[in-house]
Chain A
Amino acid sequence: MSQTAWVATRKGLFELSRASGQWEVANVSFLAEPVSQVLPPDASGHMLAALNLGHFGVKVHASKDFGKTWSEVATPAYPAQPEGAEGPAWKLVQIWSMERDGDGTIWAGTNPGGLFSSTDGGVSWQLNENLWHRKERLGWFGGGYDSPGIHSICPHPEKANEMLLGISCGGAWRTTDGGAAWHLRATGMRADFMPPEQAGEENTQDPHLIARCPGEPDVLWTQHHCGIWRSADNGVSWQECKGDFTTFGFAVAAHPKDGKTAWFAPAIKDEKRVPVDAALCVTRTRDGGKTFEVLRAGLPQKNAYDLIYRHGLAVDATGEHLLMGSTTGNLWASGDAGDSWQSVAPNLPPIYAVKF
């Protein structure tokens, strides 16, 4: 069971520790600075934080002691933009996702849609030119931000060199050779926001987040702009999961072992983006998306306007402990797989990401 967790917010990085069954804020780093994403520590204590300074741009900081001390390291940077190049400016806007693969390579997904990798712990970064130069990239567009962004990086735990990306709005992409070649993997998703004849095009889907089940890695879930989809064949095909409750939202957490269980944080689609009836809930499926339970115990059921961003819901390696953080700065924890929730801290800054 995890004893430490991380909360990236609009005003700093909060470290949580769990003692006597309760999560507490143990430390704050980068107070007052926007922390767009955090990469939790490996066994050696190495971790990264991505800052998005309002005036001075994106910066990456590394820690070698589990977040006690930090120092600035290199920031991913786009190469010189050729004159007349189409698409968004080749300028780093945000680091939206960071993941470590089985070989220890760190991958960073960014707006405006570039994927970067580092094999030296963030000391240097390389743009994945093969994805960046795909002609399909010019068909991507912003979803949540003005420019397209890579928010989901899902390494395959059993297949070195394989990973799947989620892009808003650019569909899902898979590589099986460490990033040399990329192929779309969004068949079955449906984009209601596109002209009807283009609704099924893979390259303009908006998967808000994609999560892989580590124990059954051929199972992938996505909380998509237009509903919930699941793939049981490693992204070759996706099937929509229709529930009785709203299936709009941003976040999804995949059970670490059980490929039929996942959690979601629903909201009213599409323009309102607040909890239904101002009553916050989590939905959970345990049957592969055929049915969804609506879980409310411990969550505010009156005057609640919390929205859960795409990285704002996480489950630990046991599948029993979850954390959920909102745009309103509320943070909740569950120790019983979402059946009930407890407030950890009600007045944090707006929460971008929670990570175990």
Chain B
Amino acid sequence: MARIVFTPQLRRFVEAPEVETPALQLRAGLEDAFASNPRLRAYVLDDQGHLRPNVVIFVDGKRLREYQRLDEALAPDTVVHVLQALSGG
């Protein structure tokens, strides 16, 4: 299953444990993480379900450039990192 790893900086505000997901798309994988941890959603996504502008996601080391659809494919060995963008400090 794909793994989603959240920045430890989130732990100041909300629990954000690593999640394993059978999802085949990034958004579905994130929804799996939010299902067990609803407060986490608003830290990662905005009112319209878009990735927050100062959060950055890497999928297998490749930085995501698309912030609305979040339809990047996930494979069973995919590792997703949800991190702070340095722009937002």
Are B13 and A56 in touch, CB under 8 angstroms? Answer: yes
Smallest beta-carbon distance A84→chain B, Å: 14
Q: Which residues of B contact A55 (CB under 8 A)?
A: 9, 52, 54-55, 84-85, 88-89
Residues of chain B from 10 to 62 with CB closer than 8 A to chain A in the complex = 10, 13-14, 39, 42-44, 46-48, 50, 52, 54-55
Q: Which residues of A contact B85 (CB under 8 A)?
A: 55
Are B48 and A90 in touch, CB under 8 angstroms? Answer: yes
Q: Is the interface of A mostly helix, strand, loop or mixed?
A: loop
A59 vs B52: C-alpha distance when bound (angstroms): 14
Interface residues of chain B, those whose CB is within 8 Å of chain A, are 9-10, 13-14, 39, 42-44, 46-48, 50, 52, 54-55, 84-85, 88-89
CB contacts between A and B, total, < 8 Å = 47
Residues of chain A from 59 to 106 with CB closer than 8 A to chain B in the complex = 59, 72, 75, 77-81, 89-92
Are B43 and A81 in touch, CB under 8 angstroms? Answer: no
- Name the contact of B48 in the complex, choosing from A53, A54, A75, A91 (C-beta under 8 A): A91
Offer 29 A-B interface pairs, CB within 8 angstroms, sorted by A: A53-B13, A54-B88, A54-B89, A55-B9, A55-B84, A55-B85, A55-B88, A56-B10, A56-B42, A56-B43, A56-B44, A56-B52, A56-B54, A56-B55, A57-B42, A57-B43, A57-B46, A57-B52, A59-B42, A72-B13, A72-B14, A75-B42, A77-B42, A79-B47, A91-B46, A91-B47, A91-B50, A92-B46, A92-B47
Interface residues of chain A, those whose CB is within 8 Å of chain B, are 53-57, 59, 72, 75, 77-81, 89-92
Q: Which residues of A contact B55 (CB under 8 A)?
A: 55-56
